[in-house]
Every structure is written in structure tokens, then in C-alpha cells.
Amino acid sequence: MLKPDISNAFANAGQSQKIHHLTKRVEELEAEINQLRAVEVDSEEKIVLEARIQELVTELADKQGVSEVPINLIDRNPRQPRQTFTKASIQGMAELLRKQGQHTPVILIPLSNGRYLLFDGERRWRSAPEIGWNTLKAVFLLTGIEADDRELHRQALSTTLHREDLNTLDLAESLIQQIIYDYPELSEQKDNIPRLLNAAMSRLERNRKNLELSEIRIASQENQRQWLESVDFKSAEEQKIFDVILALQLNPTSIDTNIFPLLKLSTDLKSAIREEGLEASKARELNKLSATQLKLNEAQSRKIRVQLAQRVIQERLSLSQTKALVKETLSQYKSANISSNENKKVIRTVKTIRSINFEEFHHNQLEEVRQALQSKLQEIDKRIELSNKG
């Protein structure tokens, strides 16, 4: 299929006033959607958000029509923060498309190479091939330029930040990436960013400056800048991390407590979150089943985590039930390790006794050893007798 000639779509001069109005309205809607998605919203505001998205699609359709675009010409936004699309979610959308068809077009950004970048509608894009579709209905968002990686990532993050389906693990990884995009000099400290934030938060809590964060989070850019300059950060790196988080209207307290800790999850649990829909709070509990805590090797501990993660998902265990399951598992392996250590101690003791070479002892020494052994045998007999009575 040929790429739509969007530049000539409205050559008729009689339509210029309408086109100007539609273009202005599209820009207003896009700005409003970005603003709504970039702040924490309640359920009613989420309804408004989705209504604005639908209105944007309608305005784009009125402006340029709806096109059928081959799915193999659509590229996923490589800087899309959302990485989590569970099998159940994709299958559910595929079934909905099969039964009801595609009511809402996806939003695409035309690229200079003849391909299209997905701006909105990734779940439909992923689901359509599952039912054999080769094309999707689409409208086009004309940005005028092809944004660089930094701007593309920021735009994607700001437009998906607080959607209901944005996974907190995806948010954690995207925040790290955005910090590095805004401040490339921090790239060598990528793995250290959560620790820097945590250290800064500890000092803010001691000075009670953390109580100001809820208000500063939604303050103007200028007020945020002034606040950042007023804080006695230990390093410029800490200030830069706060700058990015606050600019996205996120609370550093929540990021430090609930978001960045997810980066420490084992790979198998990250996969369970993204592919099976395991809740992040439950994954953090299951992550306690480490090789160190279980006294097993990594392969063995991974197998246990995978099995228990599947149980949590399939049986729909609550967070409290998951905590109890983890506690019980740790207790079982602790008891097993104690028993194993005791057995090893017995084996070592017996081995030591059997390895004694009595030919090396003189007569007097042998008498002394015999008395010691007889004394120990009497102790053993008494303990066996007490054990039998018990």
C-alpha cells in the first residue's frame, strides 16, 4: 500500500479555514491529553482522559480521513515506557477485535522512510496478527519533525505515565532512562541512581524537607527550580535526579519506596510481571526467596520462585497470603538446612573417630584415650536412654 499523500490531502483552498480550525483543535487536544496523562488522576479524570483521546482520534479522522495501514509497516515506539503486555491481555483484545472489529483507529506518526511510528494503540497492534489481520485502521499525527531519542522517550513517558495499565516496573526502568537522556553524564552511574535517590531522601526526612514534596511535585517549573536550589543536596547528581522526577510531576518519596526497588527483582520475577501479570507488590515478596536466603544455588532458587509465582497467579493469592507463603517456604528450607548441617556434623565426627591411628600411641596414651572414649560412651548411653523414654 502506498503511503497517503497527506501534504496534498487538502489542496482545495475552500477548505483552508476548516483545516486551520481542525489543526488548531488537534494541537489543543494533544496538549490537553499530555497534561492529563502527566499527573496522577482519579477515576473520573481517567474517563475525561480517554474521552479526550477519542476526541483527538475523531478530529484527526475529520482532518485527514481514516487509512488502512499494513501492520508490517508499523514500528513500535522504541522509547515506549510500557513494556508489559500479558498474554491474557493480548488474547482478550484479539477476541474483542475478532467479534466487534476495530472501532477506534490507532494513532501513527509518518516517518520519512515510508514507515510509521506507533503513537497510541499498541495493544491493538499486538493483537491484530493473532487473528490473522494484515492491516489496521489508522489516523496520522503530523509532528513536522522526527524527534530524537531524548524527546521521543520523554513524549512517550509523559503520555503514558499514569495510565491505569502502566506497569510500575516499566515506570522504574523508564525513569532511569529519562534521567540518563536528560543528564548523559549520569550514564556511568546508571545502576547507582536508586541508591543516590535513597540517600538524598534519608537526609530530607531528617530535615523534614520531604514533607514539602507533595506540594513541590505539582508546582510550576520555576518554583521547582527554586526549591531544588534551596535544598542542600550532597552532590549535583542527586539534584539532577530530583529535577527529572519532579519535572514529570512524580513524588520522589514514592519512587524511592515503591518504584526503584523493583529494579532489584530477579529476572524470572520481572518476566512474571510482564508476561503473566504478577503484581509488583507480590513479586517483591517472592524476591525474598533468593539463593542466599534458601541456602541453594541460583538455579534451584529460581525454580522455587517460578513455581510459587505460578501458584500466586493461578490461585489469585492476596498479598497477605503471598507473604505467608514466602514465610512458610523460608521456614521449611531453614529447617532443612539445620537438619542437613546436623547430619554433616555427625558425619564429620564419625569420620574423625574412624581416622584415628592407634598404632601411633604408647601404652599409657592408649589407656588415657580408652578412659576418654568410655566416658563419652556412657554419655551417649544416657542420652539414648532419655531419648527412648521421651
The stretch 236-248 carries a mean pLDDT of: 94
Across the strands, what pairs with 117?
A: 75, 109
Q: Give residue 354's pLDDT band: very low, low, confident or very high (50, 70, 90).
A: confident
Out of 84-88, 117-121, 245-249, 254-258, the most confident range is: 254-258
Tens of pLDDT, residues 137-166: 998 877 544 455 666 666 666 656 645 456
The stretch 304-326 carries a mean pLDDT of: 95
Residue 345 has pLDDT above 80, yes or no: no
Strands (E) located in the chain:
67-70, 74-75, 106-110, 116-120, 135-140
79 vs 217, more confident: 217
CB-CB contact of 26 with 6 (8 Å): no
Q: How far apart are CA 109 and CA 138, in angstroms?
A: 10
What cell was used for 275? 508476561
Q: Give residue 12's pLDDT band: very low, low, confident or very high (50, 70, 90).
A: very low
CA dihedral 147, 151, 156, 157 (to 10 degrees): 180
> What pLDDT is attached to residue 3?
42
Residues in the chain: 390
β-pairing, 74-75 with 116-120? parallel
The stretch 255-260 carries a mean pLDDT of: 95
68 vs 386, more confident: 68
Neighbours of 3 (CB within 10 A): 15
| pLDDT mean across residues, the chain | 81
> What pLDDT is attached to residue 145?
43
Tens of pLDDT, residues 52-62: 667 777 777 77
> What pLDDT is attached to residue 390?
58
Q: Which range, of 19-23, 74-78, 98-102, 138-142, averages the lowest pLDDT?
A: 19-23
CA angle 372, 377, 383 (to 5 degrees): 130
- Determine the topology of domain 13-147 in CATH: 3.90.1530
CA atoms within 13 A on the CB side of 175: 34
Residue 383 has pLDDT above 90, yes or no: no
Please give the backbone phi and psi of residue 135, each rounded to the nearest 5 degrees, phi first. Answer: -135, 165
Q: How far apart are CA 161 and CA 155, in angstroms?
A: 10
CA angle 138, 164, 71 (to 5 degrees): 25
Tens of pLDDT, residues 277-299: 899 999 999 999 999 898 889 99
Tens of pLDDT, residues 359-382: 888 888 888 888 888 888 888 888
> What pLDDT is attached to residue 382?
82
Residue 114 is given by DSSP the state: S
β-pairing, 106-110 with 67-70? unpaired
CB-CB contact of 107 with 119 (8 Å): yes
